[in-house]
Amino acid sequence: MTEGMSQAVARVSRVDSEQFGCRVGRATGVEEGGVPELIEWCADHRVRLLVARSRQIRAVQALEARDFKLMDVLVYYQFPLVEKPIPSQSSTAQVRPCRTEDHETIAGIALESFKDYRGHYHNDARLPREKCDEGYADWARNSCLETGSAQEVLVAEVHGRVVAFATVSLREHGVAEGRLGAVSPEARRQGLYRRLLLARMEWSRDRGARKFVTSTQINNYATQKVWQRVGLEIFDSVYTLHGWFD
């Protein structure tokens, strides 16, 4: 990005997406006043698909006036790791950091679990369903390759087999974030998702994080019920829109 660029446009990242075969831009924190400049920037940089996120309804309306379409609404939950004790574990499943030999198993769990998921990519009729599915597998696989002191992928084992995984990362200002996780279909209803959620919170607390945050689609009710039972509270929401430049 160049110096002097407005805050709205500076929040854009460009990628040449092999996943969808076109140049994809992603913009966060879009504000109403920055929409015209954002559109111009995308045209200048040959962005074909822009994924725009905003908390402002006026910004959403301004994007919709430019033929953007609403694809999903994310809701964010948080847990104060310092002020509240983390609930005790009820599952006896073994949880450990992922290893190299787990990477393809984790990618496979993601591919199977997120097939036809209700996220913003799957909600865009112009994107191939199979490519959207593969995107979650790639995300899981890449997360395994990026583990380190500030990021981890935890797995749950049942009878010696990896059947679930969850990612967690340290952010700025004492915040840790859980971004991706899934339980293999044949291993569901055993409390493994809750087990990994609490393990991520413990991992975050042990590394000095003061708050754990995570997000999901507004209509992912089952996941939100688990979060609420554990003690997470909703605190934010974000609109996701797609704009195509043909």
Q: Residue 246 domain-assigned?
A: no
So what's the pLDDT on residue 246?
84
- Considering the domain architecture, whether residues 38 and 106 belong to the same structural domain is answered as no
What phi and psi values does residue 146 have, to the nearest 5 degrees? -105, 10
Q: Residue 125 domain-assigned?
A: yes
d(CA 120, CA 124): 7
DSSP character string of 166-213: EEEEE-STTEEEE--EEE-GGG-SSSHHHHHHHHHHHHHHHTT-SEEE
Q: Residue 36 domain-assigned?
A: yes
Domain that holds residue 46: 7-66
- Considering the domain architecture, whether residues 60 and 113 belong to the same structural domain is answered as no
Question: Is residue 194 scored above 60 in pLDDT?
Answer: yes
Burial (Cβ within 10 Å: 0-12, 13-18, ≥19) of residue 72: buried
Last residue within a domain, chosen from 34, 66, 98:
66
Q: Residue 72 domain-assigned?
A: no
- Considering the domain architecture, whether residues 94 and 214 belong to the same structural domain is answered as yes
- Considering the domain architecture, whether residues 24 and 116 belong to the same structural domain is answered as no
DSSP designation for 236: E
- Considering the domain architecture, whether residues 107 and 54 belong to the same structural domain is answered as no
Q: Residue 106 domain-assigned?
A: yes
- Considering the domain architecture, whether residues 93 and 159 belong to the same structural domain is answered as yes
d(CA 14, CA 12): 7
What phi and psi values does residue 243 have, to the nearest 5 degrees? -125, 125
CATH code of the domain in which 39 resides: 3.30.1340
Write down the mean pLDDT value for the chain: 91
Q: Report whether 153 contacts 106 (CB < 8 A).
A: yes
- Considering the domain architecture, whether residues 58 and 85 belong to the same structural domain is answered as no
Under the banding of pLDDT at 50, 70 and 90, the label for residue 7 is: low
Tally of structural domains, the chain? 2
- Considering the domain architecture, whether residues 84 and 196 belong to the same structural domain is answered as yes
Mean pLDDT for the stretch of residues 190-202:
96
- What confidence tens digit (pLDDT) does each residue in 143-193 have? 999 888 889 999 999 999 999 999 999 999 999 999 999 999 999 988 999
Closest among 157, 201, 160, 204 to 183, alpha carbons compared: 157
So what's the pLDDT on residue 1?
34
pTM metric for this prediction: 0.90
CATH code of the domain in which 180 resides: 3.40.630.30
